[in-house]
Structure 1
Amino acid sequence: MKPEPPKVPRIPQATTKRLPLYYRFLQSFNNAGQTRVSSQELSEAMKIDSATIRRDFSHFGALGKKGYGYDVANLLEFFRHTLDQDEASNVALVGVGSLGSAFLKYNFQKNHNTKIVIAFDNKAPVEGKLMSDIPVFNPSVMEEKLAEYGVEIVIFTIPSRSAQEVADRLSKTPIKGILNFAPIRLVVPDHIRVQSIDLSVELQTLIYLIRNELA
């Protein structure tokens, strides 16, 4: 029987977003044969100040020892369970345009516990077709296929004009989360968590930071 992920206290969202990064860099240290690592070494590798790293880790209790640092294997195991890396999550993609097609080709297969198993697009036939070895169906059969493929998470790469309508349909299904690339704030019931990524906002933020650093 797979062990339960460790129960952790409520932590800040900014810390939550860094957890997969810690796991990725710890994998790199482990693959290089390094047995222990300091917060300073993590800081230099990740370009995150060491105080932030220590503060993030403090939310989970005593993960390291003063004067020793962190045991790489133990820390990697801890974050593997915390992020539930042993349990794969089936993902569906809605919208196979330029961005959606890129997701299908990448498909999170390396060092991730998620995999796109199905996609939906208005131009796809009801009976489905293969794109990058992923079955793509017409959205008219979305609810049926989500249940058939055991999907927990859905990625939206669709226009904002149709995003809320699709979200309304998904609210009546057992899905748990939406990764939303549509530039719209989705309204969903409490059992669905939404993570929105507005590429135009991210780009504007980057431009602002660059210009103010050079000012």
Structure 2
Amino acid sequence: MIGETIKIPQATSKRLPLYYRFLQNFANSGKKRVSSSELSEAMKIDAATIRRDFSHFGALGRKGYGYDVHYLVDFFRQALDQDEVTDVALIGVGSLGNAFLKYNFHKNHNTRIIIAFDPKGTHEGTEMSGIPVFHPDTIEDKIKELGIELVILSVPSRVAQEVTDKLATIGVKGILNFTPVRLTVPDSLRVHTIDLSVELQTLIYFIKNDVKDSHM
């Protein structure tokens, strides 16, 4: 898996799934090779950044030729473990959590939600969008039983840390946090927080400043 044998910057790591997606698009359109400038135009990422990102993995391309599209697709598929599906648990089936269940990820990615937890679930499991939803009392037993290491957290803020503390004791390695709470976790547990309100406020800030800059 990526990161175990190659030490790369975090910013580069976050762009790898994007590279994989756009290279797949090129491959599906029948393109055999692509330059960093063509990738730059398609992805709206500076060509120098793309070349620097790729350089972390050795000689992926040739000067004057560019990059072999199918080779890069295969390379990033293996780097991102796209051939191995990762099972995910969803905790919190409110409006956002319900949207996750309806979408599920395995249709387009290498992850799939196989179980969910919510107070409206039962100890026996209530099916929603084809996914069994259990009562939170069963989290520890079910996650241990299924060997799940990745969790999507979309619970009310008041219980976010409590749930996280429980997850930290049962071997969970990663949490995709959709609550506004900055979670406290041990070093063995990685948290990525997506605060939708902050992202929206940031977007509004940039839009307003873009308008100001255009009138200067």
TM-score (norm 1): 0.94
Match of residue 50 from structure 1? 47
In 2, the alpha carbon distance for the partners of 1:211 and 1:200 equals: 17
Q: Assess if the C-alpha contact under 8 Å between 1:118 and 1:149 holds in 2.
A: no
Give the deviation of 1:10 after TM superposition: 2.4
Question: Residue type matched to 1:134 in 2?
Answer: I
1:90-129 matched pairs, under 5 angstroms: 90-129=87-126
3-state DSSP of counterpart to 1:115:
strand
In 2, the alpha carbon distance for the partners of 1:158 and 1:98 equals: 10
In 2, the alpha carbon distance for the partners of 1:144 and 1:9 equals: 35
Gaps in structure 1 of 5+ consecutive residues: none
Q: Following TM superposition, where does structure 1 have runs of at least 4 consecutive aligned residues deviating by more than 6 angstroms? A: none
3-state DSSP of counterpart to 1:121:
strand
Q: Assess if the C-alpha contact under 8 Å between 2:90 and 2:152 holds in 1.
A: yes
Q: Assess if the C-alpha contact under 8 Å between 2:85 and 2:106 holds in 1.
A: no
Q: Assess if the C-alpha contact under 8 Å between 1:8 and 1:60 holds in 2.
A: no
3-state DSSP of counterpart to 2:120:
coil
Gaps in structure 2 of 5+ consecutive residues: none
In 2, the alpha carbon distance for the partners of 1:189 and 1:42 equals: 38
Cα deviation code 1:84-110 (max 9, x no counterpart): 112211100000000000000110122
Q: Assess if the C-alpha contact under 8 Å between 1:90 and 1:114 holds in 2.
A: yes
In 2, the alpha carbon distance for the partners of 1:202 and 1:6 equals: 27
Q: Does 1:65 align with 2:45?
A: no
**Structural RMSD (CA):** 1.4
3-state DSSP of counterpart to 1:185:
coil
Q: Percent sequence identity over matched residues?
A: 67
Q: Assess if the C-alpha contact under 8 Å between 2:61 and 2:68 holds in 1.
A: yes
In 2, the alpha carbon distance for the partners of 1:119 and 1:78 equals: 33
Question: Taking structure 1 as reference, are residues 11 and 5 closer, same or farther at Cα in structure 2, changes over 3 Å only?
Answer: closer
Question: Taking structure 1 as reference, are residues 36 and 181 closer, same or farther at Cα in structure 2, changes over 3 Å only?
Answer: same
TM-score (norm 2): 0.94
1:164-183 matched pairs, under 5 angstroms: 164-183=161-180
3-state DSSP of counterpart to 1:91:
strand
Question: Residue type matched to 2:210 in 1?
Answer: E
Question: Residue type matched to 1:90 in 2?
Answer: D
Q: Assess if the C-alpha contact under 8 Å between 1:30 and 1:72 holds in 2.
A: yes
Q: Does 1:20 align with 2:17?
A: yes
Q: Does 1:192 align with 2:189?
A: yes
3-state DSSP of counterpart to 1:123:
strand
Cα deviation code 1:161-189 (max 9, x no counterpart): 10100010011112210000110111111
Alignment length (residue pairs) = 212
In 1, the alpha carbon distance for the partners of 2:146 and 2:69 equals: 36
Give the deviation of 1:44 after TM superposition: 1.2
198-207 or 6-15, which deviates more: 6-15
3-state DSSP of counterpart to 1:151:
coil
Match of residue 76 from structure 2? 79
Question: Taking structure 1 as reference, are residues 208 and 5 closer, same or farther at Cα in structure 2, changes over 3 Å only?
Answer: closer
Question: Residue type matched to 2:83 in 1?
Answer: D
In 2, the alpha carbon distance for the partners of 1:42 and 1:108 equals: 25
In 2, the alpha carbon distance for the partners of 1:15 and 1:209 equals: 23
